Amino acid sequence: MKRKWWKESVVYQIYPRSFMDSNGDGIGDIKGITSKLDYLKELGIDVVWLSPVYKSPNDDNGYDISDYRAIMDEFGTMSDWEEMLDEMHNRGIKLMMDLVVNHSSDEHAWFVESRKSKDNPYRDYYIWRPGKDGKEPTNWESAFSGSTWEYDETTDEYFLHIFSKKQPDLNWENPIVRGEVYDMMKFWFEKGVDGFRMDVINFISKVDDYPDAPNPEGKKYVSGHEYFMNGPRIHEFLQEMHREVLSKYDSITVGEMPGVTPEQGRLYTGEDRNELQMVFQFEHMDLDSVPGKGKWALAPLKLTDLKKSFTKWQKGLEEDGWNSLYWNNHDQPRIVSRFGNDSPGYREISAKMLATCLHMLQGTPYIYQGEEIGMTNVKFDSIDDYRDIETLNMYNEKVHENGEDPENIMVSIYTKGRDNARTPVQWDSSEQAGFTTGIPWIKVNPNYTEINAKQAVEDQNSIFHYYRNLIQLRKQHDIVVYGTYNLLLPDDEKIYAYTRTLGDETLLVICNFSGETPVFNIPNSVNYTAKEVFVSNYEVDSNEDITSFTLKPYEARVYKLS
């Protein structure tokens, strides 16, 4: 396996709206980010992935871009951005920008032109179709509820939008559109960025006949994923992007790819494929939903499913390709509330256990802002306190159109809503958690008086320092980056145990995902003559015999065996 700097890196994701507000308008901004770079340096991360900071009407908080080469007014100016980049580079931190090119905003100049007439030069920048029998061209359902098609009176046609109707899909079949995207990427590379995270990049190639999706239950709209996920020309487009742009820069790339399998993951990330370096796959994020019913249909996680899924990806990309590792991002609920335990007695210990389990796997770890201090999900009493378009559209459809019980819907929002990840970062115990001197655009989680970065940095035993240690261990020990993964005890419902092996060294990773005290019995396949404690979330007596021992609630231990 080839050594690469991006395999040895740890990435930290910033969702700028919620990170740090420097000017008191209640919205996080670029100067706010710059003011916190020493904090990130102390944590020890190597790369920042910055969610979109481009000009945007904010229908989907910046994932709807109206100018790819300008900075959103609320976030600051281009010179603020340049200063931020310089200050990152001065600290040895690289910057990965978000590339959102499956769709633009409907306020982008291209779309404003495109909708004017059928013969406008920009018409083919987007996907326009006539209606079918007085209805939408297909029965596909948008990721944000309703149809994927919006009727436009001016030309009596519909345009495709997989996300909101203010996010029209770009037409990648048009080589001029592809050229525009590549030029824009070069513009940012020339400004000094170090790579891109690519938003739903496996959606850019659509099947060309646009059929209806099967609809056995006779619903109004149904998912049409199979017609645009991993579509017919996706590899051709990514290889072209690589040839035209990525091959010219020593960069880091990760493609966000719902619905991708390890086999496809190898095609996207294989060494000789000349596409991307990593994908964000979603299999482990779907395990606490009822299969096929969408994210809001809640189901408990089965640890054996999580192990099966991680193992499939670890083994699937072990010879060729590379994994990304994540528990959180701006679209997911907080992991300590989700797969850990956020009650006061267990929050810290379970957050450390989850961190251990993830960071000892093979791949590049991503930390989402606030994860390193164990931020939790939030429960606002009223739907009016929520801001996310996905959540609000879903609530509206289920409660107001379908007449479902609002209390049940609130439970699914508390469990899965994206705003769980978007409450402001809790910097200290002062008003508004030190995020802003004004009124924040979304309420602060009231637990900020106990859970905040200041407290965590001061306490050597905090989750923050635990993450810091995990990051340092990765830098000091090749085995953490390059060791081969093998699952132990596949059928255990409480303990996730695995090994990593490199040369004659082995790491033995043991994580108790439960609040109970299961007994760990070392499998016969694990042989060693010497052992030392590599990292653990409780104090461990290094002389303890490990052939069989009782784990404490949410205990995580890693041994180095030789």
By beta-carbon proximity to ligand NOJ, the closer residue of 200 and 561 is 200
Place of tokens 């637990």: 447
Catalytic residue list contains 119? no
Place of tokens 């996300």: 163
Smallest gap, in angstroms, from Cβ of residue 62 to ligand NOJ? 9
Smallest gap, in angstroms, from Cβ of residue 58 to ligand NOJ? 12
Structure token digits, residue 181:
């995207």
Smallest gap, in angstroms, from Cβ of residue 391 to ligand NOJ? 11
Cβ atoms 296, 271 nearer than 8 A = no
Residue 479, burial from CB neighbour count under 10 angstroms (0-12, 13-18, 19+): buried
Smallest gap, in angstroms, from Cβ of residue 255 to ligand NOJ? 11
Residues 311-330 that bind ligand NOJ (CB under 6 A): 330
What is the distance in angstroms between the CA of the first residue and the CA of the last residue of the chain?
22
Q: Which of 199, 275, 283, 348 is in the footprint of ligand NOJ by CB under 6 A?
A: 199
By beta-carbon proximity to ligand NOJ, the closer residue of 307 and 330 is 330
By beta-carbon proximity to ligand NOJ, the closer residue of 56 and 264 is 56
Catalytic residue of the set 64, 169, 256, 288 = 256
Smallest gap, in angstroms, from Cβ of residue 138 to ligand NOJ? 19
Q: From the CB of residue 232, how many other CB atoms can be counted at a distance below 10 Å?
A: 11
Number of helices (H), then strands (E), in the chain: 15, 20
By beta-carbon proximity to ligand NOJ, the closer residue of 356 and 391 is 391
Q: From the CB of residue 73, how many other CB atoms can be counted at a distance below 10 Å?
A: 10
- The answer to whether 100 contacts ligand NOJ (rule: CB under 6 A) is yes
SS (H, E, C) 396-460: HHHHHHCCCCHHHHHHHHHHHCHHHHCCCCCCCCCHHHHCCCCCCCCCCCHHHHCCCHHHHHHCC
With residue 12 as reference, give the H or E element that holds it: strand 11-14
By beta-carbon proximity to ligand NOJ, the closer residue of 11 and 471 is 11
d(CA 332, CA 285): 8
Residues 254-273 that bind ligand NOJ (CB under 6 A): 256
- The answer to whether 106 contacts ligand NOJ (rule: CB under 6 A) is no
d(CA 484, CA 419): 36
Q: Which of 141, 240, 286, 331 is in the footprint of ligand NOJ by CB under 6 A?
A: 331
Catalytic residue list contains 256? yes
Smallest gap, in angstroms, from Cβ of residue 60 to ligand NOJ? 5
Beta bridge partners of 425: none
- The answer to whether 419 contacts ligand NOJ (rule: CB under 6 A) is no
Smallest gap, in angstroms, from Cβ of residue 468 to ligand NOJ? 27
- The answer to whether 15 contacts ligand NOJ (rule: CB under 6 A) is no
Cβ atoms 377, 423 nearer than 8 A = no
Which of the 8 DSSP states describes residue 141? B
By beta-carbon proximity to ligand NOJ, the closer residue of 95 and 162 is 162
d(CA 183, CA 190): 10
Smallest gap, in angstroms, from Cβ of residue 56 to ligand NOJ? 11
By beta-carbon proximity to ligand NOJ, the closer residue of 19 and 520 is 19
Residue 499, burial from CB neighbour count under 10 angstroms (0-12, 13-18, 19+): buried
Smallest gap, in angstroms, from Cβ of residue 100 to ligand NOJ? 6
User: What are the angstrom distances between the C-alpha of 404 and each of 222, 322, 368, 382, 407?
Assistant: 19, 43, 33, 16, 9
By beta-carbon proximity to ligand NOJ, the closer residue of 99 and 509 is 99
Q: Which of 54, 63, 366, 427 is in the footprint of ligand NOJ by CB under 6 A?
A: 63
Catalytic residue of the set 64, 106, 141, 199 = 199
Structure token digits, residue 250:
């020593």
Cβ atoms 331, 421 nearer than 8 A = yes
- The mark string for 360-389 relative to ligand NOJ (x by CB under 6 A, - otherwise) is ------------------------------
Any idea how long the chain is?
562
By beta-carbon proximity to ligand NOJ, the closer residue of 200 and 488 is 200
Which residue of the chain is nearest ligand NOJ when measured via CB?
63
By beta-carbon proximity to ligand NOJ, the closer residue of 63 and 327 is 63
d(CA 200, CA 504): 40
Query: What residue type is 196 in one-letter code?
Result: F
Q: Which of 200, 204, 229, 254 is in the footprint of ligand NOJ by CB under 6 A?
A: 200
Count interface residues toward ligand NOJ (CB under 6 A): 9
With residue 38 as reference, give the H or E element that holds it: helix 37-43
Backbone angles phi, psi at 467, to 5 degrees: -60, -45
- The answer to whether 60 contacts ligand NOJ (rule: CB under 6 A) is yes
Smallest gap, in angstroms, from Cβ of residue 163 to ligand NOJ? 4
Residue 406, CA atoms < 13 Å, CB-side half-sphere: 9
Closest CA to 67 of 126, 116, 109: 109
With residue 500 as reference, give the H or E element that holds it: strand 495-502
- The answer to whether 279 contacts ligand NOJ (rule: CB under 6 A) is no
- The answer to whether 163 contacts ligand NOJ (rule: CB under 6 A) is yes
With residue 68 as reference, give the H or E element that holds it: strand 67-71
Residues acting as catalytic residues: 199, 256
Interface residues toward ligand NOJ, by CB under 6 A: 60, 63, 100, 163, 199-200, 256, 330-331
